[in-house]
Structure 1
Amino acid sequence: MKILDWYILKRYLLTFAMMLLLFIPIGITVHLAEKIGKILENEVPLPEVLLYFLDFTIYFAHLLFPLFLFLSVIWFTSKLANNTEIIAFLSSGVSFTRFLRPYLIGAAIVAVFSIILGLFLAPKASEGFNSFSYKYLKKGRKAVDNTNVFRQINDNEIIYVSSFNIKNNVGQNFTLEHFEDNKLTYKITASSIRFIEKDSTYRLTNYTKRDILENEDKIETLKRKDTLFTFKVGDLTPPLYAAEILMYDELREFIKKEEARGSTQVGRFKLVLYRKWSLPVSVFILTIIAVAVSSIKRRGGMGVNLAIGICIAMVFVFFDKIFGVMAEQSDFPPIIAVWFPNIIFGILAAYMLYNAKR
């Protein structure tokens, strides 16, 4: 029985590796053909281009490798079925559940690889991929939401700027409100705020401070004032891909801070957090579905199994994208958006496995 396990497990892992080695160069070639004009136009140095495509490879593999796994399992299991090897296995007294065991061992190995990739490698690759894209390939598109910035920076202070230019660190129509015991104690306004990096100070133009006192308000006005604040420039406008470039513990802390600050991007950030664990689970679900679909010898051969598999994979991606957009653009709970496709396809996997056993 160990011979059978090793035979299937080796086919499982080798076919998956071959699928990655085949599709990743295709993805790189297509992406290069699409972006080569902008790369040449911006005269990007060759080392930066090479590093970008290394990051793209990791980013692309992490994004699509469950689908590569799904198709690879269908591919080699269909070959086993067409060669009547599965019939020989089951006729020797091996139950379908026992036949499935090496597949689940292979899925566990790939799931561990997925966790390592998602927690450690993908964040670094995502940082390089996104920063290069916004610097050279998406000129004119903003990596940050820098209009009408309204944020709670700590337990007592709320700030607002109508717009913030991240290139020169200048914000327009700045307001800071300070509260004590839910009562406004003072308010600072300025027509503009500029961060001076060499001094780590903020320069306020047309500065006004209003202290709310019991009997009367105290007002201070200055044409220009240099001062210190507890917030950082990066806290005002974190990039839209900020969650993708953080390690797991850093991401959890970042989300807590963004929730306290009233960020509108919390749903997007939570999607990234929950997908780090939902992706490994989808490996097992897609493996079971792939085996159930392709273990039957069909009249149309391997092509029919691949066609069915591709349809199922497209529906899975459709569900994942639709619910992801709902969580980003509305109050739809991100945890449901991430796990709902796994629940639906988990039920489908159980149903198909039951029929395959019969």
Structure 2
Amino acid sequence: MKTIHKLVLKSYLGPLVMTFFIIMFILLMNILWRYIDELVGKGLSMGIILELLSYALITMLPMGLPLIMLLAAIMTMGNLGENYELLAMKSAGMSLPRIMKPLTVVVSIVAIASFFLVNNLVPYSYKQMYSLRYDIRKQKQTIEFQDGLFFNGIEDMSIRVGHQNPETGLLTDVLIYDNRTSNGNMTTTMADSGYIRLSDDKKFLRVTLYNGETYEQTRSGQNWYAKSALSRHVFDLQKINIPMEGFDMARTDADLYSNAQTKNIAELENDIQTLELTVNSATTRSYEPLLKEQLFQKDNTVLALPDSLMYDKEGFSPIEALDSIARLDIRAREKIWNTARNRAKGSRNMFSFDESAAKESLNQLYRSKVEWHRKISLPVSIMIFFLIGAPLGAIIRKGGLGMPIVISIIFFVIYYIISLTGEKMAKEGTWEAIYGMWLSAFILAPIAVYLTYQATNDSGLLDLDWYIGKYKHFKEKLRAHREAKRNK
């Protein structure tokens, strides 16, 4: 490898690593704020939280990689231009594509690796994230008491404490209503102080109370008017172990969660073929009996020739048939209309098409096609963003995090809006998936080619002095034209 290529590659790897961590940190904060409500108050260990954030962060890589490549390319070429290193390379006879050659090789490797990442690692992360989020949502909140308020996080129990010592956890003025018995009897317990804690495995609630009373109301029957008796028990020390469910972290099988996002490209292709057959089969099973048995049961040519949608039993055209009906008396016409109305109602009632199931299959088909094209389009998007960022950096000749970030955000917002619009259209079936998912590439690819051409020819596309010079030159030409016209 040439020394000049080593210099360019070394200049690129630093900004690449830095922008990767910056973009991933921003996405991590977005993920954290999105899931903060699900994580608070569950007593989750740091390992569970980090596991969820890791899976979520991997799923955000397809969004972050194009922006990372764009920003890193702008910073690298901008730094080289600002330090006049780019100018020195061009003065030595090296063209811009030749200077960018080592960077192009690195980005090409990253683009190829991104396909395997989005095809294998991202679907796995989606499965694990869905499973873990379900387990977290299913888990009950930890037992946390607030002074003077009832805690109702335990089924058929209500607990109120007067005060909880934040250091020792000692509870004072404890009141417990227990309705866990199946016969409807209620137990009320009052104590001066005590401890209420979950066991280490979170399967038992350990209650230790001091100096209290227990009141138990028992009924002789299940009806509200049955006779009842009240018993009282005074204690100095009472210990109870109550079985608990839902406070421990139970892990479910991640393979139970399956959608278009959790499948690789081979599985998506299989789903697309299956869903297309399902939709076509459902349509055929529904419309063909409707046409043959209800609407056109006496015209066998309708299905074979769709344009001949006519009822010509007597050899009349539809217009002639309407004219003949108009010449009938009122009772005959009413009889014909009633017959037609009844047949229409019967056709609607016998219509076997399951609309909700068909729509669900169609939506899954659209989503599967969208995910299939997303996996293919990501490497292309990475290359396009690199080919936009490198020429832009060579043109603006500004390094650091100032101007490059501004330009990167502008291009990424444009890309994001176009991508979301195309994806929405594709998922709704308004556009074909290939048009919706490749729309951003179709729009940004010509921009990348144009910027590369301008940078190769040392254009002052973003140089303010270049625009001022062009404006002055235009004013001079306009003034000369006016003078020539005046002299005539």
Report if the CA contact (8 A) 1:298-1:304 is conserved.
no
Cα-to-partner distance string for 1:189-227 (whole Å, 9 max, x where unaligned): xxxxxxxxxxxxxxxxxxxxxxxxxxxxxxxxxxxxxxx
* 1:78 maps onto 2:95 in alignment: no
- Give RMSD over aligned pairs: 2.7
Distance of 2:138 and 2:453 partners within structure 1? 49
Greater alpha carbon shift after TM alignment, 88-97 vs 55-64:
55-64
Q: 1:240 to 1:71 in 2, by over 3 A?
A: farther
2:408 corresponding residue in structure 1: 309
1:28 corresponding residue in structure 2: 28
1:87 corresponding residue in structure 2: 87
The sequence identity of aligned pairs, in percent, is 26
Report if the CA contact (8 A) 1:82-1:302 is conserved.
no
Report if the CA contact (8 A) 2:79-2:398 is conserved.
no
1:256 corresponding residue in structure 2: 273
Distance of 1:242 and 1:314 partners within structure 2? 28
> How many matched pairs?
260
Cα-to-partner distance string for 1:239-286 (whole Å, 9 max, x where unaligned): 997111112211211221122222322112111111111110111111
Shift of 1:290: 0.4
User: Which runs of at least 4 in structure 1 moved beyond 4 Å after TM superposition?
Assistant: 42-47, 134-139, 238-241, 297-302
Shift of 1:342: 0.8
Distance of 2:256 and 2:432 partners within structure 1? 22
Specify which structure has the higher proportion of strand: 1
Report if the CA contact (8 A) 1:11-1:76 is conserved.
yes
Alignment partner of 1:265 out of 364, 371, 374: 364
Distance of 2:445 and 2:57 partners within structure 1? 29
Report if the CA contact (8 A) 1:285-1:345 is conserved.
yes
Report if the CA contact (8 A) 1:58-1:122 is conserved.
yes
Shift of 1:308: 2.3
Q: Which runs of 5+ in 2 are unaligned?
A: 140-254, 280-361, 458-488
Distance of 2:378 and 2:137 partners within structure 1? 29
Q: Please state whether the residue corresponding to 1:295 is helix, strand or coil.
A: helix
* Equivalent residue letter for 1:249: A
Distance of 1:302 and 1:91 partners within structure 2? 27
Report if the CA contact (8 A) 1:66-1:283 is conserved.
yes
Alignment partner of 1:322 out of 421, 440, 450: 421
Shift of 1:71: 1.0
Distance of 2:90 and 2:407 partners within structure 1? 23
Q: Please state whether the residue corresponding to 1:265 is helix, strand or coil.
A: helix
2:60 corresponding residue in structure 1: 60
1:51 corresponding residue in structure 2: 51
Shift of 1:120: 1.4
2:16 corresponding residue in structure 1: 16
- The correspondence of residues 60-209 of structure 1 with structure 2, limited to 5 A, is 60-133=60-133, 136=136
Alignment partner of 2:377 out of 271, 278, 285: 278
Distance of 1:56 and 1:266 partners within structure 2? 25
Cα-to-partner distance string for 1:161-189 (whole Å, 9 max, x where unaligned): xxxxxxxxxxxxxxxxxxxxxxxxxxxxx
* Equivalent residue letter for 2:269: R
Shift of 1:7: 2.3
Shift of 1:19: 1.8
* Equivalent residue letter for 2:3: I
Cα-to-partner distance string for 1:127-159 (whole Å, 9 max, x where unaligned): 1223334554699xxxxxxxxxxxxxxxxxxxx
Report if the CA contact (8 A) 1:8-1:102 is conserved.
yes
Distance of 1:136 and 1:334 partners within structure 2? 34
Shift of 1:309: 2.6
Q: Please state whether the residue corresponding to 2:431 is helix, strand or coil.
A: coil
Distance of 1:16 and 1:114 partners within structure 2? 15
Q: Which runs of 5+ in 1 are unaligned?
A: 140-237
**Which of the two has higher C-alpha Rg?**
2
Greater alpha carbon shift after TM alignment, 103-112 vs 298-307:
298-307
Shift of 1:307: 1.9
Q: 1:50 to 1:269 in 2, by over 3 A?
A: same
Shift of 1:332: 0.7
Distance of 2:35 and 2:436 partners within structure 1? 32
Report if the CA contact (8 A) 1:316-1:341 is conserved.
yes
